Amino acid sequence: MCGIVAAIAERNVSAILIEGLKRLEYRGYDSAGVAICGPDGLLRRSRRIGKVAALEQALSDEPLPGRLGIAHTRWATHGVPSEANAHPHFSGEALAVVHNGIIENHEALRARLQGLGYVFSSQTDTETIVHLLHHTLKRLPELADALKAVVRELHGAYGLAVISAAQPDRILAARSGSPLVIGLGLGENFLASDPLALRQVTDRFVYLEEGDIAEIRRDALRIWDAEGREVQREAVQFHEGAEAAEKGEYRHFMLKEIHEQPKVVQRTLEGRLGSDHVLVQAFGPQAAELFAKVRNVQIVACGTSFHAGMVARYWLEELTGIPCQVEVASEFRYRKVAVQPDSLFVTISQSGETADTLAALRNAKQFGYLASLAICNVGTSSLVRESDLTLLTNAGPEIGVASTKAFTTQLVGLLLLTLALGRVRGTLDAGVEAGLVEALRRLPGHLQDALAMDKTVEQVAALFAEKHHTLFLGRGAQYPVALEGALKLKEISYIHAEAYPAGELKHGPLALVDSDMPVVTVAPNNELLEKLKSNLQEVRARGGQLVVFADREAGMGNGEGTHVVAMPPIHDLLAPILYTLPLQLLSYHVAVLKGTDVDQPRNLAKSVTVE
């Protein structure tokens, strides 16, 4: 995922652009660049591989003065990280573009433009945009008109910004699948992928909507919607108390991070979905070629990330038929592993610095895996640097030791992986993929609905405050969700919690059940529901207190010793993501009632960088 910043002002903009890029580094980077229209009316650029600091140094050695500029931090999808592939891309000497996203039909466009005589200097999909725009400007000389015509020819996802030395009084922007926000200043205006990038210059923003094209001048703004109608978009004051590493209105980081999930899940999806399919290039430039060879998947991770891997196994085998093994890294790293041919080695980690997971990856390199893929929240981490392919979850900093938003965004990333593998391997029905893509688009709204149940969950939490033991039950892909629920409860409330597949209850743990042992169950409305109901009868018959998070259409109601929390209906394959939220809230409220240290529970560390 790349980051865009642009500015038009009456002062030099390079420092504003650099500061903005630094604030976007969380989006991952392998190179950065800036193009500025100088006082002499000429466009100049500077590009560097590596961190924004390298670009900053270059600009301090060789300043680029000017009052109009665009800048970019890149996370490679087409073409290796190199100066030539870094943005901004030029067509001729007077037109520059920065782009976030993936242009799926870039090969066809490239061939057409080469036929017209354009010479490409990079391997990127972005360069097709700037040449196509250059070509279109010959018949439509107004930048806005030309850009409107160009975007009609682009398939895929993009957020882009354009400047031209021929029209140096404006920045043009277009959004489809990758967010863009305009920052409003006094006699100066800005553009960025995320308002955080512009917080040093303004707190008033206009969010572009899907399909919007914007023309940003120093003292004027015009926006056209997807149908080409000129529209007014409301300016909003930035209220998010702040920077990601502050609690804001929340009492604890964990609560803040639980409530961020609709927003950050949206970010995980950003730029990775086409109209009805997942964009395979989101996993890196070689992903399509490598995925075509994958016949097995080995997932390795620790703790919460391991639970995400367990859910993915259900998805991968059900949707793609690709066999999948999942193992905790601390075991995998010391085992003599029998590697299946053509296996993709997948690590999952919030921090990307977990010692066991890193060691497992390093060992795996000697075992002959086809390739390694890291699903990770930290773009600068060792895990990301040492893996062949990466999918960043983009959850933003997670401060609470108990992982919450990292887990749900990992799940989203793993579902994207499932759909991408299934499509490339030809084992996933296109209709099923389209249905899931649609369901994923609606997921943030469903998560918001689940968070609205907070007060109900808080009341239920009172049942646990005096207890010492709890059982969590789930079936199918809800079993790992039960495991995650139990992990959350023990981590922050210090209540002993165990999770079982519900069908295992009668094979031993049922002996523990009595009125002092509450049993928590996740019960979406699927084909396992009736079996689950029988398991719950087994608990009730022994006097156990039941707390059931059940689909409101599952026909379950409160009764003697049974507390049902009604959940909104959801696509069955997305239920593990939704049902995780009330379990997080439950642990949180139990911990608050018990007065434990929610954000920094005893004996634990956020990132386990030692064995």
Binding site for ligand AGP (CB under 6 A): 302-305, 349-351, 354, 357, 401-403, 491, 607-608
Say how far apart CA 456 and CA 121 lie, in whole Å. Answer: 59
Spatial separation of the C-alpha atoms in residues 400 and 462, rounded to whole Å? 22
Tokens 């979905």 -> residue: 273
Of the two residues 263 and 606, which places its CB atom closer to ligand AGP in the complex? 606
Q: Active-site residue 2, yes or no?
A: yes
| In the complex, residue closest to ligand AGP by CB | 303
- CB 270 to ligand AGP: min, Å: 21
Handedness of CA 483, 484, 487, 493 (dihedral sign): negative
Q: How far is the CB of 301 from ligand AGP (least distance, A)?
A: 6
| Nearest distance from C-beta of residue 352 to ligand AGP, angstroms | 7
| Residue (306 or 315) nearer to ligand AGP, CB | 306
Task: Count Cβ atoms below 10 Å from residue 274 Cβ, excluding itself.
Answer: 16
Question: Based on CB atoms, which residue is closest to ligand AGP, 370 or 384?
Answer: 384
Q: What is the smallest separation between the CB atom of 583 and ligand AGP, expressed in angstroms? A: 12
Give CA separation, 147 vs 130, 153, 411, in Å.
10, 10, 36
Quote the CA–CA distance of 445 and 443 in Å, as a whole number.
5
Nearer to ligand AGP, 122 or 377 (CB): 377
540-556 CB burial, b ≥16 within 10 A, e <16? beeebbbbbbbbeebeb
Beta carbon of residue 351, minimum distance to ligand AGP (angstroms, whole number): 3
Residue 3 or 352 with smaller CB distance to ligand AGP: 352
Q: Is 37 a catalytic residue?
A: no
- 306 neighbors 326 (Cβ within 8 angstroms): yes
Tokens of 346: 């997948």
Angstrom distance (rounded) from CA 97 to CA 35:
9
Alpha-carbon span 312 to 147, nearest angstrom:
40
To ligand AGP, the closest distance from the beta carbon of 523 in angstroms equals 23
Residues 6 or more apart whose Cβ sits within 8 Å of residue 223: 206, 208, 212, 213, 214, 215, 230, 231, 232, 233
Looking at beta carbons only, is 28 or 285 nearer to ligand AGP? 28
CA 500 to chain centre: 29
- Say which residues have a Cβ less than 8 Å from residue 10's Cβ, sequence separation at least 6: 67, 187, 188, 218
Task: Exactly one of 2, 302, 324, 376 is catalytic; name it.
Answer: 2
Whose tokens are 């999930």? That residue is: 261
Residue with tokens 């007077």: 94
| Nearer CB in complex with ligand AGP: 86/373 | 373
In whole angstroms, the minimum distance from the beta carbon of 383 to ligand AGP comes to 8
- Round to whole Å and give the CA distance between 522 and 477: 10
At position 121, the amino acid (one-letter code) is: S
Nearest distance from residue 562's CB to ligand AGP, in Å?
A: 29
Q: Which is nearer to ligand AGP, 395 or 424 (CB)?
A: 395
Residue from 263, 467, 533, 606 carrying the catalytic annotation: 606
Q: Which of 69, 74, 100 has the alpha carbon at shortest distance from 85?
A: 74
Catalytic residues, by residue number, are 2, 606
